[in-house]
Structure formats: structure tokens, C-alpha cells
Structure 1
Amino acid sequence: MAAQGHRRGLDAQGYIEREGSLARVPYAFRTVVAAARDRVQDMFGARLDSAYLYGSIPRGTARVGRSDLDLLLSLREEPTDTDRADARVLEAALDKEFAEIDGVGTLLFSRTRLLSDLETHDLGWFVACLCTPLLGEDLAGHLPRYRPDTLLARETNGDLALLLPRWRERIATAADTDDARRPLVRSMSRHLVRTGFTLVMPRWNGWTSDLGEMTEAFGAYYPERAADLRGAAVRGYEPTGDSAVLRSYADDLGPWLAGEYARVHGVKAPRP
């Protein structure tokens, strides 16, 4: 959702508003959302605490045949290998049956982790502000309200330096084809744009999930890197399979952004 005029995704008190809702789901995606809701309930049953949609579908900006379906499941216990396998089965079945979507992604976490102190300004914020309730209790009722401050910036994206070695490994081991590289370009492009945005989020004083608006906010503070982030935003929507792009992310834009992030906001609290 683009920022709402001068409010920039904030309510009258300056807190980040929840960005999606079931009412915003485009008509073309309502059948697949209903199917996902029913099948999540059937597959996970008593293991399920609650389920959410996130991404472009509940924001109302999804494109038929181009957008994926994103789900987050809160489980009563820590996810097991069986839970993950069931999620993959669910994803494959929905993706095969519904041409309206281009893939399904499912995040699995325990209720305890989502509501933990360590995750309050990362996964907790994600649930409270970026996820739309689909099934079960809405955990947002147990979480605080959030402002676009440096604490939120640090805890959401202050770990890019830790991700870069994994990115390089994924790039090195990917098949030498455009089809193999394209998903990497898409995911890394989006991650870099969002990290660039949250770098400037406290100064911009707002929230948006629109990649274009994120790059404009970033460019106002880092004009020397604006073109790099604009290119990443384009590839976040229309990814190429260019290996040179991936190398530039891992060896140039990524390291620069990680260093600047640590200088401005510090480093994300370590996870076990």
C-alpha cells in the first residue's frame, strides 16, 4: 500500500497503521484466499494457532498471474519437519490449481516466538502491521503499537551483513541459467530496497510497502545511490536473470548498505 497522503501510512498519533485487510483483496484473488484458508485449517488442524495473509494480495495491489500468495502461520508449538513438509504440499497444490497466482510462500513460527521480547520489533511488528488476520486469534492484540523509529529500523533490517555470505553462497551454487537466477534477483532486489527504505524510515517518518515509494524516500537522503535502488525496485517487480546484477548486489550495493545501516542504526540483536 502506498503511503496515505501526508500521513505516510501512520495514524493520527503517529503509529504505523496495519496496511492490509481482507476487504482489500481483489476480486480475482478471493477464491484462492478462501481455498488457502480452508486448506490451512484442514492440514494443520489443532497445531494451528492463527494464520495471516501478507504482501500484495491483502494490500489490494496484486497482479493476476504475476503476484504470489504469501501466508504466515502461527503454530502452537515450534515448527517441525512435518509442519514444513505439509506447508510445501499446501503451497504446491494451491500454485498448481490457481492460475491467478505465481507461487505460494509460507512462513512458519511458533506463537511463543512471535510474542517473544526478542521478536517484538521484528516478527511481532511484522504480524501487527504487515499481516492480515485470516484464521484464529489476532496476535496483534498482545503486541505494542509501533512508530517508524531507529529501534524498529535496527531490529527489522539490521542484519544485512550476516545475510551477505549466504547470498554469495546461493549465487555461487545456482544453476547457470536465467530461470535459476531470476528468483534470486527478485528476492534480493526486494530485500535491498526494503533495507534502503528502513535505513531512512525514521527521517522520512512513515511506512510504505510500495517499492517505488521506498526508493523515492531513500533517494532523498542518498542521491548518490538512488539509481542503484531504483534499478533494484524495477527488478523486484520484473526480475532478470543477469548474473552481473547478483554480483553487484553481493559485492557492492549490499556491503555499502550494510555498513551504512550499522553506522546509522547499529546491528540487530543476535538471534539464537
Structure 2
Amino acid sequence: MQFPTRIDVDNEGYILNKTSLDKIDSEYQELLTQVVEILKKCAGTKLHSIYIYGSVGRGEAVLGTSDIDLSVILTSPFSLQEKVRLAEKTEIFISDNPIVPKVDYDIGITADVIKENSQYFWGFWLRHVCTCIYGEDLSLGFPKMKPNFHICKALNQDLIDTLISYRKEILEKEVDNYKLLSILKRIVRGVYCTVAERDESWSTNIQENLLILKHYFPNEEYFKKIECVFLQQKLPTLDEMLNYIDYFIVWFNESIKSKL
């Protein structure tokens, strides 16, 4: 691998969007139609637009393993009753379709998406990570972007709070193997994001992320340990996971401060 890798950017250095309608496997197209109908019924006139991201949108989904990941933009927030109704209908959908273990909804409000300082969060997210599958495509209002630290800071603004929340779940024994892997992936993606500008890349592949991190942090033992987890498919113990979380809370906090 040559460095900088320039993975997943075009010839001019702009980040490629690896999702598209054409890449969605036929098995998921009908499932997405059902989920869109659920959202239309639960959100009503509040529903502005829906966007697919993640492995389904990239055409990399594995039946029975991959979640359906959606960003949902509303004109106003859900009421408690609407949230409950969406959760109930989604649970029924998953029960009827066991090839989908989970449906994740990232909820946004149109006023937040289009406000002036949202470019590096919602603008980047919709333009470079998602594909619109319903409604008015707000991504068209944002420019193409190159890897930069502003995107990293925006996407990881809740990373430390998320890791603290994960720590609490582990201590309360409320995690399974699937969740442990998700935590490790969140750590890897969050840390890779801090070197994406330097590497002139925007990789969504965990193995690529780890190779890049090992290059830029050759003396960082934790990256080597996490790579072994994925290569050997042997999950860390809960105590080891707590060590990872504690370490990277400090690591990420110091990395952000050093670039401010």
C-alpha cells in the first residue's frame, strides 16, 4: 500500500459517494419499500426525505447480518407517541423479516440540515455517505468535499459521549458480541477520521482503516491489537474492551485538542 493512499477519492481529491440506488441488491429493494411505508405512516406530513447509507447502500450487505441504515429528515421532531409507534412497527417488520437484524434511523430536522454551519456534518453526510430513496434530495444543495479535519470534528462530535455510554453498558453487562464488534468499529472509524486529510483518503473499510492507522501510528500497540481481533475473529473480553474504551477516550480527546 502506497501512502498517502488516496483511497475512495476521485482524481481531483474529492470524496467518492460509494452508495447509489443501482447498488442496492434486489433482496433489499422490497424491504426498503416496506420501511419507507412504515415511516410515511408514522411521520405523516412531517416526513421530508429518506436516505440509505451503510452496507445496503453500498451493495455490500449480507443477508441475516447487515442492518438497514437510514437517515430520516423531518420537518419537525417526532412526538413521543410517534416515536413509540415507529419503534413498534419497526419491531414487527424485523420479526417478519429475520434477514434484517436491525433498522437504524438517524433522525434530522430540515431546519438543522440547511442552516449555514451544517456543511461539515449534514452536508457531508448526505452528499458523500448517503443516497436519497424518498422525497426531496437535500444533498444537492451542498458542494463536493475533500477529506479535511472539519468533517472529522463534526462527525465525531459525540464520540467521547458515545464511548462513555458504551462503557456503562459493558459494566451493566448489556452488550452482546455484535455490540462489541460495533464498538470496535466505531473506535477505528473515529480514529481513522483524524488522519483522513493527511492520507488524502476516505476509506469505509475497517481493514483499510487499520492498515492506514498502523502506518501513521507505527508505535501504537492498540491498533495492532484491534487488527488481531478482526483478523482472528476473536472478540476481546469485557475487561479488555473497557481498556480499549478508556484508552481511546483519552487518545481522541488529546488528538482533537492538538488540532484546535
Q: Given that residues 38 and 86 in structure 2 are in contact (C-alpha distance below 8 angstroms), is that contact kept between their aligned partners in structure 1?
A: no
Per-residue CA shift, 1:60-102, capped at 9, x if unaligned? 1111111111111100113332332233123212211112222
Quote the offset at 1:157 in angstroms: 1.8
> Aligned Cα RMSD in Å?
2.4
Per-residue CA shift, 1:148-200, capped at 9, x if unaligned? 0122122222553444433332322334xxxx343441332121011121111
SS in 1 for 2:38: helix
Supply the AA of the counterpart residue of 1:211.
I
Quote the offset at 1:222 in angstroms: 0.9
* Structure 2 CA distance for partners of 1:201 and 1:31, relative to 1, 3 Å: same
* Structure 2 CA distance for partners of 1:159 and 1:49, relative to 1, 3 Å: closer
TM-score, with normalisation over the residues of structure 2? Answer: 0.87
Query: Quick check: 1:206 aligned with 2:201?
Result: yes
Instruction: Indicate the residue corresponding to 1:104 in structure 2.
Output: 103
CA distance in 2, matches of 1:56, 1:160: 21
CA distance in 2, matches of 1:239, 1:121: 36
CA distance in 2, matches of 1:134, 1:101: 18
Percentage of matched positions with identical amino acids: 20
One of 193, 212, 220 as aligned partner of 1:217: 212
Q: Given that residues 24 and 58 in structure 1 are in contact (C-alpha distance below 8 angstroms), is that contact kept between their aligned partners in structure 2?
A: yes
CA distance in 2, matches of 1:167, 1:221: 27
Instruction: Indicate the residue corresponding to 1:228 in structure 2.
Output: 225
Quote the offset at 1:232 in angstroms: 6.0
Query: Quick check: 1:187 aligned with 2:172?
Result: no
Q: Given that residues 52 and 131 in structure 2 are in contact (C-alpha distance below 8 angstroms), is that contact kept between their aligned partners in structure 1?
A: yes
Alignment of 1:51-90 (within 5 A): 51-90=50-89
Supply the AA of the counterpart residue of 2:39.
V
Q: Given that residues 148 and 201 in structure 1 are in contact (C-alpha distance below 8 angstroms), is that contact kept between their aligned partners in structure 2?
A: yes
Instruction: Indicate the residue corresponding to 2:165 in structure 1.
Output: 166
Greater mean alpha carbon deviation, residues 87-96 or residues 56-65: 87-96
Greater mean alpha carbon deviation, residues 180-189 or residues 61-70: 180-189
| Structure 2 unaligned regions, length at least 5 | none
Q: Given that residues 19 and 59 in structure 1 are in contact (C-alpha distance below 8 angstroms), is that contact kept between their aligned partners in structure 2?
A: yes
CA distance in 1, matches of 2:234, 2:22: 29
SS in 2 for 1:50: strand
Q: Given that residues 43 and 78 in structure 2 are in contact (C-alpha distance below 8 angstroms), is that contact kept between their aligned partners in structure 1?
A: no
Instruction: Indicate the residue corresponding to 1:258 in structure 2.
Output: 253
Quote the offset at 1:241 in angstroms: 7.5
Aligned residues: 254
